[in-house]
Amino acid sequence: MTPFRPAPSWLADAVFYQIYPQSFADSDGDGIGDFAGITGRLDHLAWLGVNTVWLNPCFASPFRDAGYDVSDYLSVAPRYGTDDDLARLVDEARRRGIRVLLDLVAGHTSDEHPWFTASADDPEDHRYIWTDTHTGSGTDAPPPAGFVASPGARPGAYLPNFFDSQPALNFGYARTDPAEPWRQAPDAPGPLANRAALREIMDHWLGLGLAGFRVDMAASLVKDDAGKTETRKLWTELRHWLDAAHPEAALLAEWGDPAVSVPAGFHTDFFLQFGGPTEGRPLRSLWNNRQGTDNDGWDPVDCFFDPGGKGSPSTFVDAWREAVAVIGDGGGHVALPTANHDFARLNCGPRTAEQLPAAFAFQLTWPTLPAIYYGDEIGMRFIPGLPDTEGSVLGPRYNRAGSRTPMQWDDGPNAGFSAVSTPDSLYLPLDPSPDRPTVAAQRADESSLLHLVRRLIALRRATPELGAAGSVDVLHSGYPFVYVRGGRYLVVVNPRATPATCTADAPDTPDTTHARALEGSGVAVDGRTITAQGFAYGVFDLTPQEPSV
Ligand code: BGC
């Protein structure tokens, strides 16, 4: 098997920042964020120190799933501006050392995409998965489970990939079955045409200076694919193409199983707080406290970053170790998001702003690639009880809108997000709390979360031992969680409300006599005894300092 090219070297130093474009900054006063708004805030992102931004889909769309229902992959949605506005954003970002990635919705389109409207009228078209033999009406058999009746002249039904308005692109089935003639092989002409289309879409945007893609529902492409064998082959083929055509580009999977997705060809995969291989073992989440975005299918496990202190970092650490053992050195990375547009923010439920310094101290010193979800760096809250907006509601206890509210920049009208005169026209309501955090207030206060996140990013970027490649030795896996990076930097986090103490006495524990705090609050290192107050965190340099003369 031809090996992949090594991941582009910039990736190991990436500090990702996810921008939900609807909600970041509105430059034209229509209540919805846009490219020019983001461009206007790039100085702030450069000040913060993030170097890689990824944007949720910003393509033409009827927005029944907030843009994950693409109706034209090659044009931007007018609500965000023009192609030139995006080009300017990418250029201005590059001038500040920031790369921009887009979101590739690979598994489905909108039902308003011309590919689909044509396919719904043409029984010979195989871009989507159609059961032409079942019309679902009259004396005909109903469509098979999960299929949706054709909206066009074509009889039969199509397979959606997420909402009904998102028909699955046909990448074939791993298992064919004569009784189900719609199951085409992955190398049938329809599926091959879709693979070619993915290459064309990537080629188009990478040619314009974009640095790569976050790939939506990357595991969903080939259907009935036990072990994801055929889906993995598909991504391996695309990665080989990318290696040759765009060797500096990166692919980030929304797969949630880096042990599978990275060997298949992704440069990195988000270690999601949901999904992934949870069967038979507890959810490996650090911060899923089942508030705001909750799903009946999730195991009732206490997460580690909880004030009650009933969790353990071990489920995460064990799953992370398994993944890196499979990926191997230099093969790719695991990315760790604080949250995302589908999942509750860090500041949600019983986890309050007080706990976030410990969460960031962990995220920015662990050997995963950190991804900060916009607003988490100031501790924006998950807002419950919002209206269903562009498909945000996924269940009775699952409304993604709470994580998608406008960025809180300052104390001006609409928190500086938009000049719109009627707050009802905002994409989503703002956090109504009078004490909601803002960028302006936190920039003016050096003791704020924002300043801490900035310093931790700077420390990580200046210290190879704290980055993706540095070693990690866990000294205590519990409360407090204690580990050493690169044999030199001691990190202590105690996300629970009550103090915690441990003795680091494993035979290979490094000498902590000279521990010098680089960042922290509430942690004392006394010989091998480490004491952390509630919500404390600390990053220490263990090397003796040269005496000053
Ligand atoms: C995205 C969601 C989206 C879904 C369908 C995902 O996992 O992150 O926001 O609704 O795919 O595209």
* Binding site membership of 254 for ligand 1 (Cβ less than 6 Å): yes
* Binding site membership of 162 for ligand 1 (Cβ less than 6 Å): yes
Residue 38 pLDDT greater than 60, yes or no:
yes
pLDDT of residue 134: 56
Rounded Cα gap, residues 223 and 261, in angstroms:
16
Residue nearest to atom 3 of ligand 1 (CA): 68
Q: What is the 3-state secondary structure (H, E, C) of 481-528?
A: EEEEECCCEEEEECCCCCCEEEECCCCCCCCCCCCEEEEEEEEEEECC
pLDDT of residue 293: 92
Is residue 72 included in any domain, yes or no?
A: yes
Q: Could you list the residue range(s) of the whole structural domain that residue 502 is in?
A: 472-541
- Read off the CATH number of the domain in which 156 is found: 3.90.400.10
Which spans in 328-355 are helix H? none
Per-residue pLDDT tens digits for 329-368: 878 999 999 999 999 999 999 999 999 999 999 999 999 9
CA of 354 to the centre of ligand 1 (A): 30
Domain co-membership, 164 together with 47? no
> 395 has which bridge partners?
398
Helix (H) or strand (E) holding 145: none
Q: Which is the closest atom of ligand 1 to the Cα of 341? A: 9
CA of 391 to the centre of ligand 1 (A): 10
Residue 50 pLDDT greater than 60, yes or no:
yes
Return all residues near 520 (Cβ < 8 A) that are at least 6 apart: 361, 492, 536, 537, 538, 539, 540
Site to probe by mutation for ligand 1, drawn from 22, 64, 65, 340 as the one with most ligand atoms within 8 Å of Cβ, is 65
Residue nearest to atom 2 of ligand 1 (CA): 342
Is residue 370 included in any domain, yes or no?
A: yes
| Nearest by Cα to 49 from 366, 456, 376 | 456
pLDDT of residue 143: 81
pLDDT of residue 276: 47
- Burial class from Cβ neighbours inside 10 Å (0-12, 13-18, 19+) for residue 60 reads buried
The DSSP letter of residue 182 is T
Residues 324, 471: contact at Cβ < 8 Å?
no
Site to probe by mutation for ligand 1, drawn from 73, 252, 342 as the one with most ligand atoms within 8 Å of Cβ, is 342
Q: Which is the closest atom of ligand 1 to the Cα of 400? A: 9
Mean pLDDT for the stretch of residues 33-51: 98
Per-residue pLDDT tens digits for 271-323: 866 554 444 444 557 888 889 998 887 776 788 999 999 999 988 898 899 99
Q: Which is the closest atom of ligand 1 to the Cα of 340? A: 8
Residue nearest to atom 7 of ligand 1 (CA): 217
Residue 144 pLDDT greater than 70, yes or no:
yes
Distances 168 to 70, 113, 222, 415 between C-alpha atoms, Å: 12, 12, 10, 39
Is residue 66 included in any domain, yes or no?
A: yes
pLDDT of residue 284: 59
The amino acid that residue 429 corresponds to is P
* Binding site membership of 217 for ligand 1 (Cβ less than 6 Å): yes
Dihedral (Cα; 106, 54, 365, 409), 10-degree rounding: -140
* Binding site membership of 216 for ligand 1 (Cβ less than 6 Å): yes
Site to probe by mutation for ligand 1, drawn from 215, 216, 273 as the one with most ligand atoms within 8 Å of Cβ, is 216
Domain co-membership, 480 together with 422? no
* Binding site membership of 366 for ligand 1 (Cβ less than 6 Å): no
pLDDT of residue 450: 98
Q: Which two tokens stand for residue 544?
A: 């003796």
- Please indicate whether residue 220 or residue 290 has the higher confidence score (pLDDT): 220
> 321 has which bridge partners?
none
Residue nearest to atom 1 of ligand 1 (CA): 216
- Read off the CATH number of the domain in which 39 is found: 3.20.20.80
Domain co-membership, 99 together with 115? no
The pTM for the full model equals 0.96
* Binding site membership of 342 for ligand 1 (Cβ less than 6 Å): yes
Domain co-membership, 120 together with 102? no
pLDDT of residue 328: 87
CA of 134 to the centre of ligand 1 (A): 29
Domain co-membership, 103 together with 116? no
Q: What is the 3-state secondary structure (H, E, C) of 390-442?
A: CCCEEECCEEHHHHCCCCCCCCCHHHHCCCCCCHHHCCCCCCCCCCCCCHHHH
pLDDT of residue 280: 45
| Nearest by Cα to 63 from 121, 118, 19, 105 | 105
Domain co-membership, 409 together with 323? yes
Q: Which two tokens stand for residue 186?
A: 């992955």
Domain co-membership, 222 together with 353? yes
Per-residue pLDDT tens digits for 387-444: 999 999 999 999 999 999 999 999 999 999 999 988 899 999 999 999 999 999 999 9
How high does pLDDT run on average in the chain?
93
Return all residues near 145 (Cβ < 8 A) that are at least 6 apart: none
Dihedral (Cα; 235, 239, 245, 249), 10-degree rounding: 110
Per-residue pLDDT tens digits for 369-403: 999 999 999 999 999 999 999 999 999 999 999 99
Q: Which is the closest atom of ligand 1 to the Cα of 69? A: 12
pLDDT of residue 277: 47
* Binding site membership of 68 for ligand 1 (Cβ less than 6 Å): yes
Per-residue pLDDT tens digits for 52-63: 999 999 999 999
Q: Greatest CA span in the chain, whole angstroms?
A: 95
Is residue 479 included in any domain, yes or no?
A: yes
Dihedral (Cα; 243, 244, 245, 251), 10-degree rounding: -10
* Binding site membership of 65 for ligand 1 (Cβ less than 6 Å): yes
- Read off the CATH number of the domain in which 497 is found: 2.60.40.1180
CA of 284 to the centre of ligand 1 (A): 21
Which band of pLDDT confidence, cut at 50, 70 and 90, is reported for residue 509?
confident
Domain co-membership, 128 together with 255? no
* Binding site membership of 360 for ligand 1 (Cβ less than 6 Å): no
Concatenating the DSSP letter of every residue in 81-99 gives --HHHHHHHHHHHHHTT-E
Single residue among 410, 426, 460 that ends a domain in this structure: 460
Q: Which is the closest atom of ligand 1 to the Cα of 394? A: 10
Sign, CA dihedral 208-209-215-216, equals: negative
Q: Which is the closest atom of ligand 1 to the Cα of 108? A: 12
Q: Which is the closest atom of ligand 1 to the Cα of 254? A: 7
CA of 4 to the centre of ligand 1 (A): 28
Residue 463 pLDDT greater than 60, yes or no:
yes
Sign, CA dihedral 506-509-515-519, equals: negative
pLDDT of residue 201: 98
Is residue 178 included in any domain, yes or no?
A: no
Q: Which is the closest atom of ligand 1 to the Cα of 65? A: 10
The DSSP letter of residue 469 is T
Residues 536, 492: contact at Cβ < 8 Å?
yes
pLDDT of residue 136: 47
Site to probe by mutation for ligand 1, drawn from 63, 64, 68, 71 as the one with most ligand atoms within 8 Å of Cβ, is 68
pLDDT of residue 85: 98
* Binding site membership of 519 for ligand 1 (Cβ less than 6 Å): no
Site to probe by mutation for ligand 1, drawn from 110, 162, 394 as the one with most ligand atoms within 8 Å of Cβ, is 162
Which spans in 271-399 are helix H? 314-327, 356-363
Domain co-membership, 355 together with 391? yes
Rounded Cα gap, residues 70 and 532, in angstroms:
49
Residues 515, 540: contact at Cβ < 8 Å?
yes
Domain co-membership, 370 together with 385? yes
pLDDT of residue 283: 52
Of the CA atoms within 13 Å of residue 353, those in its CB half-sphere come to 15
Single residue among 405, 432, 460 that ends a domain in this structure: 460
Residue nearest to atom 12 of ligand 1 (CA): 68
CA of 216 to the centre of ligand 1 (A): 6
CA of 69 to the centre of ligand 1 (A): 9
Domain co-membership, 433 together with 332? yes
| Nearest by Cα to 330 from 1, 9, 14, 2 | 9
Is residue 446 included in any domain, yes or no?
A: yes
SS3 245: helix
Question: What is the C-alpha R_g of the chain?
Answer: 24
Rounded Cα gap, residues 168 and 145, in angstroms:
15
The count of structural domains within the chain is: 3
Count Cβ atoms below 10 Å from residue 350 Cβ, excluding itself: 11
CA of 215 to the centre of ligand 1 (A): 10
Domain co-membership, 103 together with 119? no
Q: Which is the closest atom of ligand 1 to the Cα of 161? A: 5
- Please indicate whether residue 287 or residue 481 has the higher confidence score (pLDDT): 481
Residues 155, 142: contact at Cβ < 8 Å?
no
